[in-house]
Structure 1
Amino acid sequence: METCCKNDTEVPIHIAHNKSITRKRNIGKREINCTEKEYSLNGQCCMKCGHGHVKSVECPKTAAQCVPCKSGEEYMDHINVLDKCMRCRSCDIELGLVVVKNCTPTENAECSCAKNHYCSSPQCEHCESCTICEKGLVEKECTSTSDTVCRTQEAGMPPWGTAIIVIFVIVSGVALGLKFYRKKKQKNFITQRYTVEAVTGKDCSGETSTLICIDDDLSRHVPDIVKEMTLDEVKAFVRHHKLSEPTIDEIIRDYCYDTSEQKIKLFQKWYQRHGIRGAYITLISSLRDLKMRAVADKIEQKLKVAVSSHQESRESHNDKTEQSNTCSQEVGKSYHDNAEISNTYPESLEET
């Protein structure tokens, strides 16, 4: 009877203990099983903020802990885990742009060409002035996406007159096109040369040296570059260059407790997609477009010092190499002179 009682009391206790362990494991499993509208942080589920809002605490639990973006100045067009909103786009009238849709907390501003301006590019950065036809002979009015089409023939004009006008228009169009192309190319060249020389200290007056200056490999400077930027600034930069949100979130999760490594990996991901060619110019111009002029200036100064130091090191190495070659030549010459003297000396002994 004692054996039966003992067994009867121990079995329920063992079963209850196993159930308690299973329940704890299930509870722990539920704590890290977050929904699509949540994200995991330090073993707990935090709520993602919706459109037009960003988090005000490290781990939001309710919508009240997500603050709205400033209307007309900031926006956020996707569900996020950020603590700062993105800056609204500026439509510069000096570039022929006007606002067609104001910036809201959930959408960025939209720009279009101003009156008497047009732009044929899908992603228009600036608009050109519409062509003014001589004597008001307009075939098709100027629109925001196409230039004015001028009429080349009046009623009663003879065929040879039409031919002359057509030839004149074609030649003029080709000449204007070449002039515009050269002017734009020269402007881009001067801008790139000024920026590169300011950073590298190199004389980039030649075409070959300019390409070398502009396409300097930034990979060894990545830690120094991101050191001058906050994590939010790096995120804004890579988003500006269309780096996808899943890729950004994945990098942030992989290096959850290392902000410096998060910045480095995000910047390297953009650099791998962009490539070496023109990366420096893209970096500096993008930072200034994103209203990060102070950051751009610091990076310029730091790269200037780094590149100058690298050049001096290379020049010093070349000088040492030349000195070594000179010494080797002198030693070799001395050796040959001694050999000649040795050959002459036995002859003099034989004469004696």
Structure 2
Amino acid sequence: MARGLFHLLLIIVLVMETHCINDTEVPTHIAHNKSITRKRNIAKREITCGEGNYSFSGQCCTKCKRGHVKSIDCPKTQEHCVPCKSGEEYMDHINDLDECMRCRSCDKALGLEVVKNCTSTENAECSCAKNHYCNSSRCEHCESCTVCENGQIEKECTSTSDTVCRMQVKRKVNNYTTQGNTAAADTGKVHSPETLRLIHIDVDLTHHVPDIVREMTLEQVMTFVRHHRLSEPTIEETLLDNSNNTSEQKIKLFQKWYQKHGMGGAYETLICSLRDLKMRTAADKIERKLKAAVCSHQERRESYNDKTEQSNTCSQEGEKCYDDNAEISKTYPESLEET
């Protein structure tokens, strides 16, 4: 009897536990379903954001107009957008970004110049600077135009194409062999006798560099060496190494070019290039100085050798030098004399 009551109680306990478990599981299942439903509803709300808006954490936010970026995660009006710094940054489209884009730099060291300034809504536009060209669709840097060192130009250098030089021919002028081009030969445009003398003897410019660059500005020296394809890293390094001395910068840059070119034809290259680059004043001054130095050296040489049959007349300005009896055939390393 007692055993029968025990079994009855055990059955009642098991029934009650089963009922409690079912009562617990049903609310849990319902809560789970509600959570899924909420997530789906949120997803639906994100998709419904209209044009000019974007979704963020279940809410629609306002995109910023051109020239502006957001200042908070979810702007509600344009008041929550901040402008880009004009001349430094820009944003050229409607956006949900928090940083503006940096303006393009038209670096002079890369042969570029600004053709359109950067604004808060448009990036800067660059083009090749004078005496530089680039033949690609988008130029990150421009090359220096080729210099026709001993001839005239067939086709001028443009921002998109290099210089084309005329084919050169040899001819004799006043018993000196020189080089020119077919056009020059036809028109009779030739160097003066004094200039031909200096070209013929290949003056060594090594000791004349300080006096040469004294007649040029730093910008002119940089234009000259770039014209002759001295690399930009070399130019930049030279300027940095002598950053506190403009005179030394000019000397070192010119020496870099001279080492690359070599003595042969350097004088003619220098004078002709300066004139091609519209630096005629500097070319004329340098030419007069070199003529004066050559004349002065020859007078001392003739006096030392007591060559009475030779006559050599130099003008006070050092602009004319005549040698009627012999050709000059050696270099003149002495420092230039002021005229």
TM-score > 0.5 by shorter chain: no
Structure with bigger RCO (C-alpha 8 Å, 6+ apart): 2
Q: Which structure: greater strand fraction?
A: 2
Higher share of residues assigned helix: 1
- Answer with 1 or 2: which has the greater Rg: 2
With structure 2 as the length reference, what TM-score do the two structures score? 0.42
Q: TM-score, normalised by structure 1?
A: 0.40
